[in-house]
Amino acid sequence: MASILTNAAAMAALQTLRSIDRSLETTQARVSSGQRVETAADNAAYWSIATTMRSDNRALSTVQDALGLGAAKVDTAYAAMESAIETVQEIKAKLVAAYGVGTDRAKIQEEIEQLQAQLKSVAESASFSGENWLQEKISTSATATVATTVTKQVVASFIRNSSGTVAVTTVDYPLNGSTVLFDLGDGKLGILDKEAMDGTTALGFSVSTLDITDLASVQAALGAGATEEDALDAMTKFIDGQLEAMTSAASSLGSIQKRIEMQENFVATLVDTIKQGVGRLVDADMNEESTRLKALQTQQQLGIQSLSIANTNSENILQLFRQ
């Protein structure tokens, strides 16, 4: 039935053209943005997952920065420990030289005092970003024995478990009683500064108070019949023990250096992997979208042509009345 009020053919053509235009608009948006899921309306589930993972990736990027900062602190402490070990090795060598008959112990002590000052300088200057692992300031009362542990932490990773709970893990390094006895002043607890009650050992000396020109107090502590050689033996044994403690501390720092390096590599790989995973969910296949765009443009042209043909039917009816 031909009607001038209702053009069914034109309505069908128009409906098809509208559908093509909507698809064309969607495809053009994907081509311009590079994403097939740009908003929650595109795919709520994928958009939610992608948004959460992007947030976690941003947190991991911050972890990368924190690892870099932590690595710098550990590197500073390790470099200082290497220098400190060399200094204490020199002190040990001077003690051995003091055994010699006719040696000038006063001159040797002058050299030891310079080495002690160098050791203190190393401990005081090993600071990065306001933290000094070799000489950590802690709060203690005037009469309390320093027997606490200060744990230094380096942020290692950001974790989201299966239940959605998030957590930040750290690499820990304790500053405690395993560190070296070097009295740097009240309220210090660092790798090079473990204070006893009075800042010295039971024999009356620490690395910083070692004095080979005054062996009487050490002899007295060792007991009746102790000789100067016995006192020097006690000092040498003490220094050797401190070197062992310093070597152990430096070894621990080296282990942390390696772990931080491995964690940095892992986090960098993890960030890239998450980016790739999110891309698989929301990125558009540009080859596919470009092909679809070309096809839709062709369909749009055909739809316009079909609508034009449908609209000419009414004009044909007018021609009948003119005759």
DSSP lists the bridge partners of residue 157 as 169
Q: Per the structure block, which two tokens stand in for 87?
A: 């200094």
297 within some domain: yes
Residue 236: predicted pLDDT = 92
| Average pLDDT, integer, range 96-106 | 83
Per-residue pLDDT at 65 exceeds 60: yes
The parent domain of residue 73 ranges over 44-282
Within 13 A of 130's CA, how many CA atoms are on the CB side?
0
What is the rounded distance in angstroms from the CA atom of residue 321 to the CA atom of residue 323? 5
Give the pLDDT band of residue 35 (cuts 50, 70, 90): confident
Does 271 lie in the same domain as 295? no
Q: Which of 62-71, 120-129, 196-205, 291-300 has the lowest mean pLDDT?
A: 196-205
Q: How far is CA 182 from CA 129, 186, 194, 318, in A?
A: 23, 11, 6, 111
**Looking at the structure, do residues 134 and 257 belong to the same domain, yes or no?**
yes
Residue-wise pLDDT tens digits, 84-97 = 999 999 999 999 99
Residue 212, SS3? coil
Residue 54 shares a structural domain with residue 31? no
pLDDT over 60 (residue 77): yes
Task: Judge whether residue 27 has pLDDT over 90.
Answer: no
Co-location of 304 and 174 in the same domain: no
Report yes or no on whether pTM surpasses 0.85.
no
Question: Are 222 and 292 members of one domain?
Answer: no
159 and 27 within one domain: no
Instruction: Give the pLDDT band of residue 179 (cuts 50, 70, 90).
Output: low
Are residues 295 and 153 part of one domain?
Answer: no
**Do residues 142 and 69 share a domain?**
yes
Pairing state between β 166-175 and 189-190: unpaired
Q: What is the mean pLDDT of residues 287-300?
A: 88
Mean pLDDT of the chain: 82
Whether residues 175 and 272 share a domain: the answer is: yes
The predicted pLDDT at position 143 comes to 41
Whether the Cβ atoms of residue 156 and residue 63 lie closer than 8 Å to each other:
yes
Q: Any idea what the CATH number is for the domain that residue 249 is in?
A: 1.20.1330.10
Asked if residue 303 and residue 160 are part of one domain, the reply reads no
Query: Does some domain include residue 314?
Result: no
Own/partner contacts of 39-47, CB < 8 Å, gap of 24 or more, are 43/282, 46/281, 46/282, 47/282
Specify the pLDDT at position 165: 77
The pLDDT score that the predictor gives to residue 112 is 93
197 — pLDDT class (breaks 50, 70, 90): very low
**Do 64 and 153 share a domain, yes or no?**
yes
pLDDT recorded at residue 153: 83
DSSP reduced 3-state for 154: strand
Structural domain contains residue 316: no
Q: Which of 119-123, 144-148, 178-182, 243-247 has the lowest mean pLDDT?
A: 144-148
Pair 295, 199 in one domain: no
- Per the structure, the count of domains in the chain is 2
Assigned domain for 13 exists: no
